[in-house]
Structure 1
């Protein structure tokens, strides 16, 4: 039986790599994202029998509903939801951060994630499916400038544990994957397009790749149905947890 995954944020990074990884293993993938041309490139690359492009802004609830209602018959039997769409915006400390950046992160990382999850829960329960939510080590370990981004990812991790508790006995698996440094478009988005800042962060650091995380997502998704990984934290060897800060008079 061919299984179907819905992967949000599939236009780049983890989402695009995961789409390729699942299709390579014979899955169908509903690939969502804002940039229709990038989704179409995935369809052209992997084939319309394997990828259905659903272009919409994850923050737009009405557009989400339209996209779900328009799924082709072959893509309606969703077995796996990968809530990957998310972003960080801004690196400033809280006292000088832009409120608009905070709201964008909350709307994307929290509100959109719970809305899509709520929409698909009845189907996932019916099919004894799985949910994989992409969180971050930022939701566990605070750092200067992490403020709302870290808070939003902490929500994702705790929400996932709550889902796991509520779905007890249904057969639905719920996992949070919490990556550390991975080289994608993440820092470009966070810095509003500062390529120099992005290159500086990753140069010489041997960060994880989008394919590393895609392989991890696939591993979790294809475990035997009686196994559930609650939380999986993953970092490159070059990254570790820093010490406490101390301000001295």
Structure 2
């Protein structure tokens, strides 16, 4: 696709999107935000899982503070550039794994936390660094974080701007898994491969149901479950799953 600030590779149904500005800890500038949005919004057919990670020693240090165009109008930057990027993550057609290979700070932390599954190295950390420069957390952080770790921890994390280790983040429920650094790459590959071979339509429905659950009452959620389950029950993957179960063999899902 001809990207400059990210690397985008596809193999075995897994698209790996690597933030690639290691000299500045993969800080987000306007071009990178646009390229992330484009890559996730125009996935080639055959992609059934996305891995979002960073080049070098960190995942993402957040907003590039040397990008004067963003600082000139923060509200417009958030609405016009960050919101499309975050929606490209949360509304992606396939599951997104954030493979956090080091520090994830500010908007970079919230970009990672917008993914469906977050796997981090034990040496990684998450920091809401906004108050250090007189700002509030953005890029969805004030929505995502209190829903995963509760108001008290979210408030402390944001007011004090102190790093949360990967182990803490796992214990608090902010991420799925903290993995020893030596096992990190293999763990991410294994999880991505499993999702790429799974029932893609069912994954999409799970993500839709969970996204709606915080705003729905029980009756609305039961109705949504019934509708989504009806769709899943008409899929080729459901037929294959039941057939494989009866034949006592692994299912060969096609994502249809």
- TM-score (structure 2 length as normaliser): 0.31
* Greater C-alpha radius of gyration: 2
Q: Using CA pairs under 8 Å that are at least 6 residues apart, name the structure with larger relative contact order, 1 or 2.
A: 1
